Structure 1
């Protein structure tokens, strides 16, 4: 039972980090583009370009986090299967 709760909290932590990562990257890209537009007078082009960069960066972060989690789960499964033999 304790292992199930531990796995649940790991999953919740992973999902929250994925969501935060996507939102933060998108917001940072949007903010950078907005302030560059104000500074350079290029409204709305820098906002759109950097919003796109932020979205791409967010998906890249999700990919990296997912790969890391899958590797961790594989190692955990290998340890479990070795311990049962």
Structure 2
């Protein structure tokens, strides 16, 4: 939706659209997780070994990467991204 159209909507309608967007996001994440789990099970049954990422290692390394891109994308967006990861 364009900013111009968004700004023309009432606060009430904006709230409804935001709520719908979040509900859609959550439903999509849930569906993706289910497909991922089913796919992993199929692969494991076929003899594949799945290596899962060490999230703590990523968390330890990530701050240096965030710093590299802070000027390009803005610290505000990096902070939002980090908050979503927790």
TM-score, normalised to structure 1, is 0.48
Higher helix share: 1
User: Per chain length, whose mean CA-contact separation is higher, i.e. which structure has more relative contact order (CA < 8 Å, sep 6+)?
Assistant: 1
